[in-house]
Amino acid sequence: MSRTLFRTRIKFCGLTRPGDVRLASELGADAIGFVFAAGSPRRVRAEEARAMRNALAPLVDAVAVFQDNGADEVREVIKQVRPTLLQFHGGEEDAFCRGFGVPYVKAIAMGDADAMADAITLQLRYPGAVAFMFDSHGPGTAAGIGRSFDWSRMPTGLNKPFVLAGGLSPDNIFDAIQVTLPWGVDVSTGIESAPGIKDGDKMRRFVQEVRRADCHVDPDVDADTQPGVQPVQC
């Protein structure tokens, strides 16, 4: 007999080739991230991202990823790429993030082993965020480093969905979902053969492992404690 569980949303980030975008869509990714952060080896120009956006399947979100970019650059990306979501990894404040009229996700740096993310503080500081992302980069450093963080440091009591990122791969995503029960997961380095070059086999395995984890999550988990979760039939 099938059972109704939670469907974890999947975001593939740092794509640089239209072929990888098409494959991600075919595999069932929910969102694709295009990186505009200075210094990232996965950074693309707005016109490149626009071409890749055209390769997206219907209903797959295009996410524009920034880290302390200027407002003019963000506006130009929005104009050319038409992202459905913005993702901010730097020191941006809520007023800046929500000032572009596009829903945004705020990434929280979890790379400092001594720092603890507090749910109440985050929600007061970023009331306009539609979700939070917990990533393994340190404050002021670039994301996409391919290293995980201690998942026990995740804040509890969030009233918004959260996305888990940082060092995820086909080899650890099953355990990551079992431990943290995220609304979504974000992967970049863990599905690559080189920075910005995605590996089709790793992409397939990642999706398979996420869905396997979805079918093993405790069916008694209270949906009220997991904002935004979606049911899936196993």
pLDDT recorded at residue 79: 98
Report pLDDT for 51.
Answer: 96
* 165 close to 186: Cβ distance less than 8 angstroms: yes
Q: Which CATH architecture has domain 4-233?
A: Alpha-Beta Barrel (3.20)
Tens place of pLDDT per residue across the chain (234 aa):
344 467 999 999 999 999 999 999 999 999 999 999 998 999 999 999 999 999 999 999 999 999 999 999 999 999 999 999 999 999 999 999 999 999 999 999 886 655 567 889 999 999 999 999 999 865 555 554 567 788 888 888 899 999 999 999 999 999 999 999 999 999 999 999 999 999 999 999 999 999 999 998 665 554 444 555 555 566
Find the helix or strand (DSSP H, E) in which 10 lies. Answer: strand 9-13
At residue 110, the pLDDT reads: 86
Q: Where are the domains of the chain?
A: 4-233
DSSP label at residue 38: T
Residue 218 is predicted with a pLDDT of: 62
Strand locations in 17-83 (E): 31-35, 61-66
User: Side chain identity at 186, as an amino acid letter?
Assistant: D
Sign of the CA dihedral with 89 first, then 63, 180, and 143 last: negative
The candidate with the shortest Cα–Cα distance to 74, out of 176, 184, 65, 103, is 65
Q: Is 157 exposed, middle or buried (0-12, 13-18, 19+ CB in 10 A)?
A: exposed
Q: Are strands 230-233 and 4-7 parallel, antiparallel or unpaired?
A: antiparallel
CB within 8 Å of 140: residues ≥ 6 apart? 90, 91, 109
What's the confidence (pLDDT) of residue 4? 47
Residue 19 pLDDT? 96
Residues forming beta bridges with residue 162, ordered by sequence position: 132
